[in-house]
A and B are shown apart, each in its own frame.
Chain A
């Protein structure tokens, strides 16, 4: 499996091809969201909602062979696209990898300009929640 950095570089490359055109960039993000794996209805509950996002975002995590698998969903297509990027980078990694991950691709592709400040705050909240899951699983492993 490629490293977190490799996946980030891949994403940066994809967004470079899109260039400066905001509209096609947003269409692309939405399309990424439509490929997000099905989110189980039973997990669509309040305790899985991430606080700090303007749109609704549900996030859960499970452990498979020492690797964390994330599942997430949102009620808006653009946010789904953003989550799918985070899952692509962070899902299937060890807790330590997730904790250490520096998600430089977000700045490199100029995400702040694309999605604006409110959604950027939401994105930061998602990343924080994913890292919190990683910390919790790591604590469990060490217990």
Chain B
């Protein structure tokens, strides 16, 4: 069933405003998506009616809050088709999820001379934790090269794999280019040499069906705020047998079974990795964000976003001076580009003057920009609430801006 865009837009109050005298066109969805009413209401509702600390209280409010909190864990489990709730750990976001794996699994499993493989198109949050770990352990960080179009050639990946490879940590969908990576094959090949695979799903979970059992990834990291949910909240999925063997991440309340000054026994997963009072309100609200997605259906969302992507790509390609960056055959609704003779910052600022919000710069992927020989790009990323008429507005503006230097 095609989606009803006006009905969807009516759920996002932030979209209905003017910026610099023009109707807002929000095309910075890869940075963070907007939130529907239901998510905001859930945050308010929790504080108005249910606020209490979870898992410990013996009273009704605590019981209710715990139930709502754990309901979201189940919703996340279903959302990515994990086997059980215990495989879902709440974190601050993708960044913390990756750091958690580096600090626990990484510290335990990766030693001197071992190898970690990442790709050229990683977000800094999937580079720096592995650099830190490699430095600490004397491990080797290997980088999968990419083509000019922004694609990984699986043959190049195969060449890097050895029996020393302990972990492949790779972005499922590139935030800077929109490329969808062939992760199913990567996971299979990595498992053949006994390596574990972490998927950075920050940009895939909102566009694609991500089924962790079908993919057979060992870890999946993603952020609620890119899924119409609250900021500062994320998920780490891990397979039970791996999580159980991992040492704890942080010490404190919630993560323990019993504490004496001599000895502490740790709680079971997932609580072993959730020290301290969690972000209860936002977790509960995240449940509403998942509901929003599932009511529409990922298929319908993807279809709408692909339509916008194709429509915009075609129109922009006709503009003199328009240089697309990242032209992978498999892409989500992200368009990275430059204008011949102009700096992306200037293009971004001029689009903003027209009410159009895009991202400019290196998108936290400096090594990727270096590989492509660019200082940065302008990135327009589309979401389910965007429309063709918004794209028309952007195309008109880009054409006008490009004309300055491309007569």
Contacts and interface: CB of A to CB of B under 8 A. Distances in A.
B192 interface: no
A28 B354 CA distance: 15
B20 interface: yes
B354 A75 contact: no
A75 B343 contact: yes
Contacts of A79: 345
B346 A77 contact: yes
Interface string A1-43: 0000000000000000000111101110010000000000000
Contacts of A134: none
B20 A75 contact: no
A75 B341 CA distance: 10
A23 B404 CA distance: 13
Contacts of A20: 21
Interface residues of B, number: 14
Given A20-B21, A55-B343, A75-B343, A26 B349 contact: yes
Interface in B316-358: 342-343, 345-346, 349-350, 352-354
Given A75-B375, A116-B349, A22 B21 contact: yes
A72 to B, nearest CB: 16
Nearest to A33: B346
B345 A55 contact: yes
Contacts of B349: 26, 78, 115-116, 119
A78 B354 CA distance: 16
A123 to B, nearest CB: 13
Interface in B283-315: none
Interface of B: 20-21, 342-343, 345-346, 349-350, 352-354, 361, 375, 404
21 contacts: A21-B21, A22-B353, A23-B20, A23-B353, A23-B354, A25-B353, A26-B349, A26-B350, A26-B353, A27-B404, A30-B346, A55-B343, A75-B375, A76-B343, A76-B345, A77-B343, A78-B345, A78-B346, A115-B349, A116-B349, A116-B352
Given A23-B350, A78-B346, A116-B352, 11 more contacts: A20-B21, A22-B21, A22-B352, A23-B354, A25-B353, A26-B353, A54-B345, A54-B361, A76-B346, A77-B343, A115-B349
